[in-house]
Amino acid sequence: MTLGADFYARSVHRVAQDLVGCVIRHGSAAGRIVEVESYHESEPACHAFGGVTRRNRVLFGAPGMAYVYRSYGIHACLNAVADVEGVGAAVLIRALEPLEGLEGMRSRRGVARDEQLCSGPGKLTQALDISLDLNGSSLLDGPIRIVAPPNGAAAPRVVRGARIGITKAADLPWRFCDAGSAHVSRPWPAAMWAA
């Protein structure tokens, strides 16, 4: 069941935590979300910090949109816009456990081990063939869909810690991981605790 607008129209941290274990799909490729981070306009690591610009305007749009941006001139990173319209907040999808379309992922990624197909925000967009032209598309009825965990799926054990790769507001514990997964982008930091 595709997640609806009401799922995304909540506190971005709540949305982030609840996205762990959900399944994201684009075309024939799909994976289970095992790592996310939340970003909010109130803190300087967020692209929405400082108000609306052309680059970040999607962050302030309706909940459930995809915010895709280019990182370091090379990679695309995928976010799910959260909170109500007018508030700049989103969840960065950082890692997936590959579920379907592995052959396509391997050919796009060119790596040997399946653990490396989607174990990073730039890796998973390459694996799922998600590019900048999907910025502003809808996760509710667009080409990228996020669905709730299948009925009967074991609830992930979610742990939280500090976000990765940022220089500002680096101490906020807004990274959420599935503690049981071998597909996260980095090994567990020393300080991770139950969410």
Q: Given the rule CB under 7 A, which residues bind DNA?
A: 37, 39, 45-48, 50, 53-56, 59, 67, 70-75, 77, 79, 90, 92, 109, 111, 116, 120-123, 132, 163-168, 185
Judged by CB, which is closer to DNA: 3, or 82?
A: 82
Neighbours of 155 (CB within 10 A): 9
Smallest separation (angstroms) from DNA to the CB of 47: 4
Six-digit token string for 147: 């669905």
Judged by CB, which is closer to DNA: 150, or 168?
A: 168
Smallest separation (angstroms) from DNA to the CB of 178: 17
Judged by CB, which is closer to DNA: 7, or 185?
A: 185
Judged by CB, which is closer to DNA: 152, or 178?
A: 178
Please tell me whether residue 112 adopts helix, strand or coil conformation.
coil
Smallest separation (angstroms) from DNA to the CB of 70: 5
Q: How far apart are CA 83 and CA 100, in angstroms?
A: 30
Q: What is the dihedral of CA 22, 167, 40, 194, to 10 degrees?
A: 50
Six-digit token string for 157: 């054990």
Smallest separation (angstroms) from DNA to the CB of 120: 2
Burial class (CB in 10 A: 0-12, 13-18, 19+), 47: middle
